Structure 1
Amino acid sequence: MKTLIKVLLIATALFLIVSIAILYAIYNSDSAEQEVLEEKTFDAEIEDMEIIVENSRVDFLPSTDGTSRIVLTGNSEDFILKTDISGGRLLIEVEDRSRFFVFGFHRSYSLQVYVPEEGLESLIVDSNNGTIQAQDIRVADLSLEADNGRIDLQAVESDAVNIETANGAIDLAKMDADMTVRSSNGRIIFTDVSGELQAKANNGRIELTTDTLDFPVDFETNNGRIEIHTKNEPANARIQARVENGRLEVFGRNSGQVSFGSGDVLIKLSTKNGRIVVD
C-alpha cells in the first residue's frame, strides 16, 4: 500500500510539472522567434468580431490602412485557421491540432488582429490557454474570456467591458468605461481608469490607482487584499468596507463606514481574508 501511494504521489508530481511547463511555454512564447504562418486582409466593412483561439496568444493593434487584418505566427504548422464574414460580422477560429507535448520543444502561436481606426461595435474573444492583449483600439462592447492566460488592456476606448479569466492576471489601464471583471485565480489591477467598476476575485488581490474616487466601485475577493490609491479624497462618496480576517484602513480611519460630502457615489469593498487599504 505504501509503495502504491508513493507511486501515485510521484505520478501526480510529474503531471503537475508537465502541466506547469506547458503553461509556462504558452504564456512566455516569444513572437520574434515565430514565423508567419498565415495572413489575411478583409476589405469588407466589419462591425462585429468574434475570435475563438486554442493555445495561442491574441494581440489587438490599430490598423494603419483602414482595413481589418490578421497575422498568425508560430513555430508549428499543426493548426487550423478558419475565417468567415457574414453581415458585417467576422468570425476567426484558431485550433491547435496536436494534442501531444514534447520536452525540449513547445508549440506556440500568436494571432495579431489589426482593428480599423473607426473601431468595432462589438468584440468577443474566447481563449483556451493564451494571453489576450489590446492597445489603442476602439470597441463599443468588449467581452473577453480566458481559461488560462492573462488579459492586458491599455488605452482601449469602450463603453462596456466584460472580462473573465479562470487562471490569470487582469491588468486594465488608461480606460474610461463601465467594467465588469471576474477572476477565479489571479490579481485584478486597475490603473488610471474611470467608469462604473465591478471586480470579483476568488483568489487574488484587487488594486485601483486613480486620481480621485468619483465613480461607483464594487470590489470583492475571498482571498486577497484590496487597495485603492488616489491623489485626493473623494468629494461626494460613501465607502462601505468589510473585512473578516485582516486590517482595515480608509484614509487613515479604522472604520468600514466613511462618507464624503453627500455620499452619493457608493464604494463597496469586501474581503474575507486580506486587508483593505484606501489612501
Structure 2
Amino acid sequence: MNLIASIKPKMHVKTGILAFGLILISVAAACSTNVATSTKARDDSFTVAESRKIVVNGSNGRINVGAGTDDTVRVQATLRRPDNLKYEVTQDGNPINVEVEEQGGRFSFLGQSPGADIEITVPSNTRVGLRTGDGTIELYGMHQSGTVRSSNGKIIMDDVTGDFDVHASNGSVDIAGATVTFDIESSNERIVFAGVIVPSVGNRMTTTNGSAEITLHRIPGEELDASTTNGSIKTRLPILTTFSGDKHHIVGTIGAGDAELFVKTANGPVTVQRDTLMKS
C-alpha cells in the first residue's frame, strides 16, 4: 500500500475544511460590519396649533417623549435595518402620526433585528397615544392626557399631569412627580407610583406578578380598596377601615376620602405610604 497516496486525500480534506471555515469567518465578519452600519437617521419637524396630539405605533424599539418650549413637534428616529422597515411620519391637521412596521419577517443575524428608536419633543399640553411592541416607553413633562402601552418593555413617566391609561404586558411601570387620574396595569412586573391622585372615580392599579407601591405627595384623602392573592398589605398612613376580612384585603378611608383608589396584585405586596419629605 502506498502510504503517501493515502495521506494526501486526508490532507486535502483538512485543507478544504480549513478553507471553508475561513470563508465562513470572512462572511460573518462582513455581515457583522454591514449589520453594525445598517442604520438610518430620520428627523422630521412640524408646527402645530391647539388640540395637539401625537400618536406613535412603534416596533422593536424605545419611544422617548419630552416637553418642548414652542409649537413645534420634532420626531427623530434611528432605524435599524431600514430596508426591512416601513417608517412614516405624517401630519393630519394638528395630530402627528408615527408608524413603524416591520417587513420581510423578523429574522435576526448576529443580534440585530429591524426596529426603530424614536425621540420626540412636543409642546407640554399635547395628548399622547404611545404604543410599542418591544421596547421601553418614557414620558417626561407632559401635562395633558393619553394612553401609554408597551407589550414587552417597561414604562417610565415623570412630571406628568392629566388622565392616563397605562399598560405594560411584560415590564414594570414607574411613575414619579405625577398629578393624575389613572388606570395602570402591569401583567408581569411591579408598579411604582409617586405623586398626587386627583379626586376622581376609578383610579385603578393592577399587576399579576409584581408588587404595587404608592407614595402620596399630598393627601386630600382616598377611598382605598386594596387586595392581594399571595402577598401582604401595608398602609403606612392613618386609615379608617370599613373592611379588613384578612391580611389580603383592606377597605378604608385615608383623610377625607375625596379620591378613589383600587389596588390589586396577584403575587406581590401592596404598600401605601406618604412621602417622607412631605410636611404634615
Give the gaps of 5 or more residues in structure 1: 1-32, 249-254
How far apart are the structure 2 equivalents of 1:137 and 1:259?
Answer: 30
- Looking at structure 2, the residues matched to 176 and 107 of structure 1 have their Cα atoms a distance apart, in angstroms, of 37
Call closer, same or farther: CA 1:35–1:207 in 2, change over 3 Å. Answer: same
277 and 135 in structure 1: CA distance in 2 versus 1, 3 angstrom threshold: closer
CA–CA separation in structure 2 for the residues paired with 1:226 and 1:149: 27
* Equivalence for 1:127: 132
Unaligned runs of 5+ in 2: 1-36, 274-280
**Distance in 2 between the 1:200 and 1:72 partners?**
32
Larger Rg: 2
1:161 aligns with 2:164: yes
In the TM superposition, 1:1-279 aligns within 5 A as: 37-45=41-49, 47-77=52-82, 78-97=84-103, 98-117=105-124, 119-120=125-126, 122-138=127-143, 140-156=144-160, 158-195=161-198, 197-211=203-217, 213-216=219-222, 217-222=224-229, 226-227=233-234, 233-234=237-238, 238-239=240-241, 256=250, 269-271=263-265, 273-278=267-272
Whichever structure has more strand as a proportion of its residues is 1
- Distance, in Å, in 1 between the alignment partners of 2:43 and 2:62 is 16
Q: Distance in 2 between matches of 1:127 and 1:193?
A: 27
Q: Distance in 1 between matches of 2:258 and 2:94?
A: 42
- RMSD over equivalenced CA pairs, Å: 3.2
Range with greater deviation from structure 2 (34-43 or 171-180): 34-43
Secondary structure of 1:185's match? coil
Letter in 2 for 1:176: T
> CA 1:261 to 1:200, structure 2 compared with 1: closer, same or farther past 3 Å?
closer
TM-score, normalised to structure 1's length? 0.69
What is the CA-CA distance between 1:264 and the residue it aligns to? 6.4
Q: 1:218 to 1:81 in 2, by over 3 A?
A: farther
What's the CA shift string for 1:27-64, capped at 9, x where partnerless?
Answer: xxxxxx99661110102436122111111110001224
Aligned mates of 2:152, 2:86 — CA distance in 1: 20
Q: Give 3-state SS (helix, strand or coil) of 1:49's partner.
A: strand
Matched position secondary structure for 2:208: strand
By how many angstroms is 1:167 displaced? 1.0
Displacement of 1:109 in angstroms is 2.7
Map Cα deviations across residues 97-122 of structure 1 (whole Å, 9 max, x no partner): 351022344555310011124x21x2
1:129–1:228: structure 2 CA closer, same or farther, 3 Å change rule?
Answer: farther
Q: Percent identity?
A: 23
* CA deviations over 1:95-150 (Å, ceiling 9, x no partner): 23351022344555310011124x21x21112111110011223x22111111111
Shift of 1:73: 1.3
- The TM-score, its normalising length taken from structure 2, stands at 0.69
Total equivalences in the alignment: 230
